[in-house]
């Protein structure tokens, strides 16, 4: 306390004695009180620093605690590979995904003239020129063309496409065995493609003496054949049209909707699809139908599931519902022999209040559920027919709803116009009826994926036949789905990653967990692998990688930690903590400033006294 007491202003020293008599007897000195009122009191002792040190230590403790406060309240942000996302965007925009493939044309001649290598080269150039004139698919890459000309006299080839065609394995005489046998014979002779994984499509021109003209058969694998009396110019034109129209575009004409024409595939963002099959009994008081879906349905659908596995993980479930009336109205038509439902009433057919279809336990996360409904009308509206806009009746008596599913109106065999109730008779759909129903549903599934339900109405200015696959999808159709799905998923993955990166940069206070960063890195790796497989023409592997890339990107974007409340700006951050620390910190800072000023003032006084003493001496 001695130093603190010494900091008080000392009493002024006594005046110095006068050195002359005149001074003592003359004019008196100034009054000390009046002098102190004009000049600040001087200080003869050195000011202490204890108060300054104590005040500064309190302020320093606040400053040292500030980094700990910021560290304890900081937001964890895993670094996102923004440069890699930008590089992927540049590659996809500058070079969209395209799949190179090969076209191999085989000319089987019935004559014995020796084959000429120059003829094969000339046909190759003609086919290449024909492909340049036809519209290419959006996912088609470079097409390598090769030609093989085979006759009894020999065999010659041109081009570098690695087709597995072996001369002499298939002849014109094999055509009489039937289209199905000839299709499998071509498949065994050709294989699936080149050794590098890219697809090779083959069109075989079989020269026969049939006077009825040409006919085209599109096989269920990756080949087609043209049979009949064919000249070279016509054969080149048909080969180009078959390759571009069907193998590349799936039979979709200009102006039609379908795959590659803006239609989105009904697959969840996580790559999962649930096919929910429901049997609806409109009025159980009339009749109650059941089915053996587990035995027959799953057996028929398993090949479809395996075929679509590269683009979707499909699960199947089934149920039987009762008391499920429709929402739309139908009217009786004696000419048609039943009740008619017009196309204008289809949007109101599904009764969302009574049809409890969304009972799936397999659909988790972002999976997509496709509903396939078998509607059994009541006795008073049976039979119920679907009328087309042209006035005719639908052959399948079914319709689809894009991105939702399909509905089949199934009239029981014993129902007729004005049939009477049978008081809740319990019956079961026969195996044949269930198989026919599932065939219609497979056709609807094809439509939902952007393909045509059938190609019966398709032709190329000549009779055209299409082989039907037990998988529901031919191999060239699956290639088309793989290519389109890989391309759309890559673009969707890029859009999601760019949105996530933009969101993270726009919200500096947003939490970014390490798991999110890892998912983004894995998504980029899968996207790069999908793009690399696309450049090699491996469409199925590219589709698998693209599906994984999109799923990981969606999981990262919708991660639960992103929904945290710590999205506030830095202003909100200060608004939270200022009421706790501002009042105390402000007082400590003001006290430190005030004490520093006081110390400087006292030090100045002491320095002035020392200076005056040195001057006096």
**Helix pair 514-536, 82-94: axis angle to 10 deg:** 20
- At residue 231, the pLDDT reads 83
Indicate whether 16 pLDDT > 50.
no
- At residue 486, the pLDDT reads 92
Q: Give the gyration radius of the chain's Cα atoms.
A: 44
- At residue 350, the pLDDT reads 81
> Of 223-232, 289-298, 473-482, 580-589, which gets the smallest average pLDDT?
580-589
Contact 461, 453 (CB under 8 A): no
Range with the largest mean pLDDT of 262-276, 278-292, 352-366: 278-292
Choice between 213 and 182, residue whose per-residue pLDDT is larger? 182
The three-class DSSP label of residue 1 is: coil
- At residue 36, the pLDDT reads 44
Contact 246, 430 (CB under 8 A): no
Number of residues assigned to the chain:
617
Residue 404 CB contacts under 8 Å (≥ 6 apart), including other chains: 370, 371
Contact 441, 370 (CB under 8 A): no
Choice between 419 and 107, residue whose per-residue pLDDT is larger? 107
Which residue, among 530, 481, 556, 32, has the nearest Cα to 250 in the 3D structure? 481
Q: Helix/strand/coil (H, E, C) string of 346-370?
A: HHHCCCCCCCCCCCCCCCCCCCEEE
Give percent of the chain above pLDDT 70.
82
Give percent of the chain above pLDDT 90.
21
- At residue 434, the pLDDT reads 92
- At residue 21, the pLDDT reads 39
Indicate whether 89 pLDDT > 90.
yes
Confidence label for 268 from pLDDT (cuts 50, 70 and 90)? confident
Measured between alpha carbons, how far is residue 337 from residues 142, 381, 396, 419 in Å? 56, 11, 17, 12
pLDDT digits (tens, 9 = 90+) for 206-250: 888 765 678 899 999 999 999 888 788 888 999 999 998 888 888
Query: DSSP state, 111?
Result: S
User: Quick one: residue 213, left, alpha or beta (phi over 0 = left, psi -120 to 50 = alpha)?
Assistant: left
Confidence label for 26 from pLDDT (cuts 50, 70 and 90)? very low
- At residue 4, the pLDDT reads 43
Confidence label for 440 from pLDDT (cuts 50, 70 and 90)? very high
Q: How far is the C-alpha of 105 from the C-alpha of 553, rounded, in Å?
A: 42
Mean pLDDT, residues 426-441 taken together = 90
Mean pLDDT, residues 35-42 taken together = 57
Contact 554, 215 (CB under 8 A): no
Each residue of 256-281: b (16+ CB within 10 Å) or e?
A: eebbbbebebbbbbbbbbbbbbbbbb
Choice between 524 and 23, residue whose per-residue pLDDT is larger? 524
What are the backbone angles phi and psi of residue 427, rounded to the nearest 5°? -135, 175
Q: What is the dihedral of CA 262, 267, 271, 277, to 10 degrees?
A: -170
Q: Domain map of the chain by residue range?
A: 57-70+569-615, 101-257, 272-414+425-449
Indicate whether 156 pLDDT > 70.
yes
Q: How far is the C-alpha of 123 from the C-alpha of 572, rounded, in Å?
A: 74
Indicate whether 87 pLDDT > 90.
yes
Q: How far is the C-alpha of 549 from the C-alpha of 34, rounded, in Å?
A: 91
How many CB atoms sit inside 10 A of residue 187's CB? 17
Which residue, among 548, 533, 551, has the nearest Cα to 139 in the 3D structure? 533
pLDDT digits (tens, 9 = 90+) for 108-124: 887 666 666 688 888 88
- What sign does the dihedral 483-484-485-489 (CA atoms) show? positive
Which residue, among 384, 392, 327, 316, has the nearest Cα to 355 in the 3D structure? 327
- At residue 20, the pLDDT reads 40
Measured between alpha carbons, how far is residue 276 from residues 264, 283, 377, 434 in Å? 20, 21, 20, 15
The three-class DSSP label of residue 416 is: coil
- At residue 32, the pLDDT reads 42
**562 strand-pairing partners:** none
Confidence label for 495 from pLDDT (cuts 50, 70 and 90)? very high
**322 strand-pairing partners:** 281
Q: Helix/strand/coil (H, E, C) string of 502-523?
A: HHHHHCCCCCECHHHHHHHHHH
Contact 80, 520 (CB under 8 A): yes
Indicate whether 303 pLDDT > 50.
yes
Residue 91 CB contacts under 8 Å (≥ 6 apart), including other chains: 531
How many CB atoms sit inside 10 A of residue 388's CB? 11
pTM attached to this predicted model: 0.78
Indicate whether 548 pLDDT > 90.
yes
Confidence label for 22 from pLDDT (cuts 50, 70 and 90)? very low
Mean pLDDT, residues 463-480 taken together = 89
The three-class DSSP label of residue 26 is: coil
- At residue 564, the pLDDT reads 59
**Helix pair 514-536, 539-557: axis angle to 10 deg:** 160
- At residue 98, the pLDDT reads 87
Q: How far is the C-alpha of 76 from the C-alpha of 508, rounded, in Å?
A: 10
**Helix pair 431-448, 298-307: axis angle to 10 deg:** 20
Indicate whether 59 pLDDT > 80.
yes
Which residue, among 161, 110, 97, has the nearest Cα to 542 in the 3D structure? 97
What are the backbone angles phi and psi of residue 216, rounded to the nearest 5°? -115, 135
Range with the largest mean pLDDT of 147-156, 214-223, 568-577: 214-223
**279 strand-pairing partners:** 320, 374
Indicate whether 513 pLDDT > 60.
yes
- At residue 197, the pLDDT reads 60
Measured between alpha carbons, how far is residue 177 from residues 41, 187, 356 in Å? 129, 15, 51
Measured between alpha carbons, how far is residue 428 from residues 3, 113, 322, 401, 410 in Å? 108, 64, 14, 27, 13
Element of type H or E holding 201? strand 199-207
Choice between 451 and 352, residue whose per-residue pLDDT is larger? 451
Q: How far is the C-alpha of 441 from the C-alpha of 290, rounded, in Å?
A: 18
Indicate whether 18 pLDDT > 80.
no
pLDDT digits (tens, 9 = 90+) for 304-336: 999 999 988 898 998 998 888 887 777 877 777
- At residue 500, the pLDDT reads 92
Contact 408, 396 (CB under 8 A): yes
**What rounded mean pLDDT belongs to the chain?**
80
Query: DSSP state, 30?
Result: P
């Amino acid at each position: 306390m001695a130093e603190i007491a010494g900091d008080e202003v000392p009493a002024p020293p006594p005046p110095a004695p006068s050195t002359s008599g005149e001074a003592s007897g003359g004019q008196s000195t100034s009054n000390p009180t009046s002098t102190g009122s004009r000049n600040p009191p001087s200080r003869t002792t050195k000011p202490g620093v204890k108060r300054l040190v104590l005040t500064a230590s309190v302020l320093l403790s606040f400053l040292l605690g500030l980094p700990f406060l910021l560290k304890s309240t900081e937001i964890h942000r895993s670094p996102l590979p923004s440069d890699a996302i930008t590089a992927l965007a540049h590659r996809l925009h500058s070079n969209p995904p395209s799949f190179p493939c090969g076209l191999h044309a085989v000319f089987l001649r019935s004559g014995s003239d020796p084959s000429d290598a120059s003829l094969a080269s000339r046909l190759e150039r003609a086919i290449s020129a024909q492909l340049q004139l036809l519209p290419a698919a959006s996912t088609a890459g470079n097409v390598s063309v090769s030609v093989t000309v085979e006759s009894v006299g020999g065999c010659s080839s041109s081009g570098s496409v690695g087709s597995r065609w072996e001369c002499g394995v298939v002849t014109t005489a094999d055509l009489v065995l039937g289209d199905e046998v000839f299709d499998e014979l071509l498949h065994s002779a050709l294989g699936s493609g080149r050794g590098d994984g890219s697809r090779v499509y083959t069109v075989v021109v079989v020269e026969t003496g049939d006077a009825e003209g040409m006919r085209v058969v599109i096989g269920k694998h990756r080949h087609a054949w043209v049979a009949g009396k064919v000249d070279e110019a016509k054969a080149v034109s048909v080969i180009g049209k078959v390759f571009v129209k069907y193998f590349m575009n799936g039979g979709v004409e200009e102006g039609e909707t379908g795959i590659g024409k803006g239609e989105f595939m009904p697959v969840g963002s996580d790559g999962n699809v649930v096919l929910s099959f429901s049997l609806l009994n409109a009025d159980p008081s009339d009749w109650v139908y059941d089915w053996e879906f587990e035995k027959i349905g799953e057996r028929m659908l398993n090949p479809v599931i395996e075929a679509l596995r590269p683009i979707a993980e499909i699960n199947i479930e089934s149920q039987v519902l009762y008391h499920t009336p429709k929402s739309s109205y139908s009217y009786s038509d004696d000419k048609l022999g039943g009740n008619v439902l017009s196309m204008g009433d289809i949007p109101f057919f599904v009764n969302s209040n009574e049809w409890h279809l969304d009972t799936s336990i397999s659909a988790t996360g972002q999976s997509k559920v496709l509903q396939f409904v078998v509607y059994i009308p009541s006795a008073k509206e049976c039979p119920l027919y679907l009328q087309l806009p042209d006035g005719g009746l639908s052959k399948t008596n079914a319709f689809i709803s894009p991105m939702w599913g399909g509905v089949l109106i199934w009239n029981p065999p014993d129902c007729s116009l004005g049939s009477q109730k049978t008081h809740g008779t319990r019956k079961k759909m026969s195996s044949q009826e269930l198989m026919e129903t599932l065939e219609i549903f497979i056709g609807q599934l094809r439509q939902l994926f952007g393909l045509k339900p059938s190609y019966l109405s398709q032709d190329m200015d000549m009779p055209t036949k299409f082989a039907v696959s037990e998988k529901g999808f031919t191999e060239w159709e699956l290639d088309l789905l793989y290519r389109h799905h890989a391309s759309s998923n890559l673009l969707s993955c890029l859009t999601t990653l760019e949105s996530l990166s933009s969101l993270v940069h726009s919200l500096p206070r947003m939490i970014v967990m390490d798991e999110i960063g890892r998912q983004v890195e894995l998504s980029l790796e899968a996207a790069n692998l999908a793009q690399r497989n696309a450049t090699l023409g491996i469409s199925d592997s590219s589709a698998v990688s693209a599906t994984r890339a999109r799923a990981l990107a969606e999981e990262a974007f919708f991660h639960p930690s992103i929904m945290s409340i710590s999205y506030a700006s830095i202003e909100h951050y200060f608004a939270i903590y200022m009421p706790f620390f501002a009042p105390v910190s402000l007082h400590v800072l003001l006290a430190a400033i005030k004490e520093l000023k006081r110390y400087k003032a006292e030090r100045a006084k002491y320095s002035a006294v020392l200076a005056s003493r040195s001057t006096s001496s």
